[in-house]
Amino acid sequence: MKRLITIVAMNALVAVSHAFAEQHVSRYDQLKASVQRICPVSGKALGSMGTPKKVKIGDEEIFLCCESCAKRKIDKQHWVTIHKNFAAAQRSCPVMEKPLPA
């Protein structure tokens, strides 16, 4: 199972890296987008609609699949999925040193 997750994560990183290839984007942003994986508005894979667009929502910087999604409302289920992806990648709380809920 861990191998499958690793393979999926690597494929996502490659796809997002190609989408960012035409722009100068930090390695951190590339990594964050590859962990996020999907657009919080459309649910489509980041990079599937061209270069992902970085936006700030509240205190969080996230990526949208395209410019047109910036004008639309975030889907709650996609937002939950994105945060589950972040928690799975991080694995444990840096303060409490305990596993994050899945």
pLDDT digit string (tens) for 42-79?
A: 999 999 999 899 999 899 999 999 999 999 999 999 99
Let me know if residue 101 belongs to a domain: no
Q: Within a domain: residue 95? A: no
43 within some domain: yes
d(C-alpha 26, C-alpha 93), whole Å:
24
Tell me how many helices (H) and strands (E) the chain has.
Answer: 3, 2
In a domain? residue 61? yes
Residue 70 and residue 88 in contact, taking contact as beta carbons nearer than 8 Å: no
In percent, how much of the chain has pLDDT > 90? 54
The number of domains in the chain is 1
- Amino acid 25: pLDDT: 75
In a domain, 64, yes or no: yes
**Residue 96 within a domain:** no
Range of the domain at 58: 2-90
Q: Are 40 and 74 in contact (CB under 8 A)?
A: yes
Q: How confident is the model at residue 81 (pLDDT cuts 50, 70, 90)?
A: very high
Mean pLDDT of the chain: 84
Which residues are CB-neighbours of 81 under 8 A, at least 6 positions away? Answer: 38, 43
Which whole number is the average pLDDT over 69-92? 94
Mean pLDDT of 21-45: 88
